[in-house]
Chains A and B, each alone.
Chain A
Amino acid sequence: MNLRLLKRNIPFLATATVCILLYLAAGFRYENFFSIRVFLNFISENAVLGVAAVGMTMVILSGGIDLSVGSVVGVVSISMALLIEKHGVPASAAIPLMLISGGLFGAGMGALIHFYSLPPFLVTLAGMFFARGLGFVLQLESMPITRQVSDIVSALTIPLGPEYELAATSLIFISLLVVAMLVVHFTPFGRNVYAIGGNEPSSLLMGLPIAATKIGVYAASGFCSALAGVVYTFYTTSGNPTAGVGLELEAIAAAVIGGTLLSGGVGYLAGTLLGVLIFAMIQTIVIFENINSWWTKIIVGLLLLVFILLQKLIQAKKA
C-alpha cells in the first residue's frame, strides 16, 4: 500500500526535486536570485499562466484536454476593456459577467463533448478558433483601460512588511489555487473527477454522475480561463485580443511537468504550482543569462519530454 502510494507520487517528487535544484543552482550562480523580490515576481508575472493551468489540470485529471484556454484569455481581456471603456459598465459588473460567460462557454464545450461523444481535442480546438475570432471581431488592436481597474488592483495589493507587497495578480492566483485544491481533494465533485479520469466505464457502472462532472470540469476550466483573462487585464491594465497566444500549451506543460498524467486520474494541483514555478524560473534564468529568449521554449519542450518519458517509465513498471 505504502509502496504503491509512493510510486504514484514519483512524478510529483521528481518535480519537487527539479524545482528545488533549479532554484538552488540558479541562486548560487546569480546574485540576487535568492531575493524575496525575485521570488514574488515568479508568482506575480506568471499568475495568468498559473490561473489557466489550474483549470487545465482539472480537465486533464478528468481525462480530457482544453485547447481554448489562451483564446478565452484574449476575448475576455478585450471585451472587458470594451465594456468598461466604451460602454461605461462598472468593473464590478463587467468582471462577474466575464467569469460567468467563461464558465458557460466551457460548459457548452463540455456538453458537446459529453452528449455527442466528440473528441475533446477537436471541440476545444473549435472553441479556440471561435474565441480568438470573436476577440478579433470585437476589436483588432489592444486598448488601455484608464479608469477603475487600477483602483481594484491597488485595493487587492497586500503589503508584506515595509519593503515588499503581494501583487493583486498573485493574490488571485493563490486564492484560486487554494479553492481549487479544496474542491478537488475534499468534495464529491473532486473525487468524481479523479474517478472518471481513472476509468470512465467503471465510474459509469458505479453510478457516478458522469455528465454533470464532465460538463462541470469544462465549465471550471472556462471559468479559470476567463479569470486568467481578468488577471491579464489587471496585469497590463489594457485589453488585448492577442493575449494568451500559446498559453494553452504552457498550461498543459505546467500540468504535465507538475506530475499530472495526461491519461487522466493521477495528479495534484500542488504539482501544477511547482510546474508554474519551474516555468517561471527557466524564464528568469534565460533573462539572467542574457541569452535569446527563444531558449525558453526549447528548454520547456525538453523538460516536457523528460517528464513524459518519466511518466512512461513509471506506467511501464506498473504494468
Chain B
Amino acid sequence: MKRVFQTTTWRKLQWPLLALVVVMVFNFLFSKDFFELTIRDGRVYGSLIDILNRAAPVMLLSLGMTLVIATGGVDLSVGAVMAISGASAALLVTKAGLPVPVVIAVSLGIALLAGLWNGLLVGFLGVPPIVATLILMVSGRGIAQLLTGGQIITFESRSLEFIARGAFLGLPFTITLVLLVFLVVILIQTRTAAGLFIEATGDNETASRYAGINTRFVKLLVYAFCAMSAGIAGLIAAGDIKAADANNAGLWLELDAILATVIGGTALQGGRFYPAGSLVGAVLIQSLTTTILAQNVNVQFTLVVKALVIIAVCLLQSESFRRVFVRRAVA
C-alpha cells in the first residue's frame, strides 16, 4: 500500500484529486441533495452519477488526447471528428437504414480515417501538430455540415440511443464505455512496448529514432487512436439528443480535453503520461460546471472559471513559478 502512494502516478494525481475534494466539500456544504443517490427501475440516479455521465465524452476525448500529448503533439480536431462521426451515424440510420452495428463500425471507420489523415500530416509530412489538426478542425466541421446539409438530422434508433442513455449494471452505459477505453490505454501503457515508444517519442524524438523506434508510425497510431475515441464520443453526443447537430456537437470540447489532460499531470511537452489523471481532470471540469449550475450562477461563468483553473494549473507546473516560492521559503 505504501508503495502505491509513492509512485509518480499518485504524486501527479494529488493536485487534481485535492481540487476535486474541495469542489465536493463545497457542494456538501452549499448544494442541496448533492450526494443523494436513488435507485429507480434498477438504475442509480443522482448528481454524482450525472457528473460521471456528462463527463463521459470529455473523458473519452482526454484519453485519446493524453496519448497524443505524450508524443509531444496536440489534436485540435477532436470536436470536429465528433461532429463528423455523429453526422455519418445519423445519415446511415435515417437515409441508408443500415443495421446499427454496421452504422457504428462505419462511423468509427470514418473517424479512424480522420485520425490517419492527422497522423499522416504530423508523422510523415512533419507538419506542426497544432497546424495539422487545425486544418481538420476548420474543414472537419464544414464536412460534417455538408453531410447533414446544414440541418439537424433527427433519428429514432433505440440502439444508438442506448449508447448515450442506456444503463449497464445500474450505471449509465457511457461509464462502461469510458472504462473500456481506459483499460485499453492502460494495457497499451503497461503491457505493450507501444507505451514505452509513445513516451520515448515525446521525451526525445531524435534519440528515439536513433534507438530504432519508428516515431512516425507511433505518431500515426496515437492520432488514429485519438480520433477513434473522439468518434465514440461523437456517437454519445448524437445518441444523447437523438440527432446530429453538425454545428454544436463537440464544439470547444477539444479545449476541455486538453485542459483535462494537463490538469491530470501530462505535460504538454510530451513524455510521461497519466491516463488516470486525465479522467480525474475531466471529472473535475464537469464537477465545476455542475456546481456552478447548482448555485444558479450564469452557466457561462464556467468559462471564466475554467480559464483561471488552466492558468493556476500551468503556473503550478511551471518551474520558474515554483522557484519563486522555493526561494521565498528558503529566505
Contacts from A to B (Cβ < 8 Å): 65, 112, 115-119, 121-123, 125-130, 132-134, 136-137, 140, 246, 249, 252-253, 256, 262-263, 292, 294-298, 300-302, 304-305, 308-309, 312
Given contacts A137-B301, A292-B145, A249 and B134 within 8 Å (CB-CB): yes
Cβ of B140: which chain A residues have Cβ within 8 Å of it?
301
Q: Is B99 in contact with chain A by the CB < 8 A criterion?
A: no
Given contacts A65-B130, A130-B307, A262-B131, A116 and B268 within 8 Å (CB-CB): no
Q: Is B300 in contact with chain A by the CB < 8 A criterion?
A: yes
Bound-state Cα–Cα, A263 to B127, Å:
11
Query: Nearest Cβ distance between residue B54 and chain A, in whole angstroms?
Result: 18
Cβ of A128: which chain B residues have Cβ within 8 Å of it?
255, 307
Which residue from B132, B142, B298 sits with its C-beta under 8 Å from A136?
A: B298
Bound-state Cα–Cα, A130 to B315, Å:
16
Bound-state Cα–Cα, A309 to B135, Å:
12
Bound-state Cα–Cα, A304 to B133, Å:
11
Contacts A/B (CB < 8 Å), 8 sampled: A65-B130, A127-B307, A130-B308, A262-B130, A262-B131, A294-B142, A297-B141, A305-B135
Given contacts A137-B300, A292-B149, A298-B146, A129 and B139 within 8 Å (CB-CB): no
Bound-state Cα–Cα, A47 to B196, Å:
49
The contact string, 1 if C-beta is below 8 Å from chain A, for chain B 305-331, is: 111101100110011110000000000
Cβ of B311: which chain A residues have Cβ within 8 Å of it?
112, 123, 126
For the A-B complex with A252-B131, A262-B131, A298-B143 known, give 5 more contacts whose Cβ atoms are closer than 8 Å.
A118-B314, A122-B310, A126-B314, A297-B141, A301-B139
B130 nearest in chain A by CB position: A121
Cβ of A297: which chain B residues have Cβ within 8 Å of it?
138-139, 141-142, 145
Q: How many A-B residue pairs have CB under 8 A?
A: 128
Cβ of A127: which chain B residues have Cβ within 8 Å of it?
307
Which residue from A117, A249, A292, A312 sits with its C-beta under 8 Å from B318?
A: A117
Tell whether, in the assembled complex, residue B315 and residue A116 are in contact, meaning their CB atoms are under 8 Å apart: yes
Query: Nearest Cβ distance between residue A241 and chain B, in whole angstroms?
Result: 8
Bound-state Cα–Cα, A112 to B317, Å:
13
Tell whether, in the assembled complex, residue B303 and residue A133 are in contact, meaning their CB atoms are under 8 Å apart: yes
Bound-state Cα–Cα, A263 to B298, Å:
39
Q: Is B258 in contact with chain A by the CB < 8 A criterion?
A: yes
Contacts from B to A (Cβ < 8 Å): 74, 121, 125-128, 130-132, 134-143, 145-146, 149-150, 255, 258, 262, 268, 298, 300-308, 310-311, 314-315, 318-321
Bound-state Cα–Cα, A253 to B137, Å:
12
Tell whether, in the assembled complex, residue A300 and residue B300 are in contact, meaning their CB atoms are under 8 Å apart: no
Bound-state Cα–Cα, A260 to B251, Å:
28
Bound-state Cα–Cα, A136 to B150, Å:
26
Which residue from B150, B258, B303, B321 sits with its C-beta under 8 Å from A130?
A: B303
Tell whether, in the assembled complex, residue A249 and residue B138 are in contact, meaning their CB atoms are under 8 Å apart: yes
Cβ of B139: which chain A residues have Cβ within 8 Å of it?
297-298, 300-302
Tell whether, in the assembled complex, residue A309 and residue B125 are in contact, meaning their CB atoms are under 8 Å apart: yes
Query: Nearest Cβ distance between residue A136 and chain B, in whole angstroms?
Result: 3
Cβ of B306: which chain A residues have Cβ within 8 Å of it?
126, 129, 133
Tell whether, in the assembled complex, residue A133 and residue B315 are in contact, meaning their CB atoms are under 8 Å apart: no
Tell whether, in the assembled complex, residue A129 and residue B138 are in contact, meaning their CB atoms are under 8 Å apart: no
B254 nearest in chain A by CB position: A125
B139 nearest in chain A by CB position: A301
Query: Nearest Cβ distance between residue A189 and chain B, in whole angstroms?
Result: 25
Cβ of A134: which chain B residues have Cβ within 8 Å of it?
304
Given contacts A262-B131, A292-B149, A308-B127, A116 and B298 within 8 Å (CB-CB): no
Tell whether, in the assembled complex, residue B302 and residue A133 are in contact, meaning their CB atoms are under 8 Å apart: yes
Tell whether, in the assembled complex, residue A249 and residue B314 are in contact, meaning their CB atoms are under 8 Å apart: no
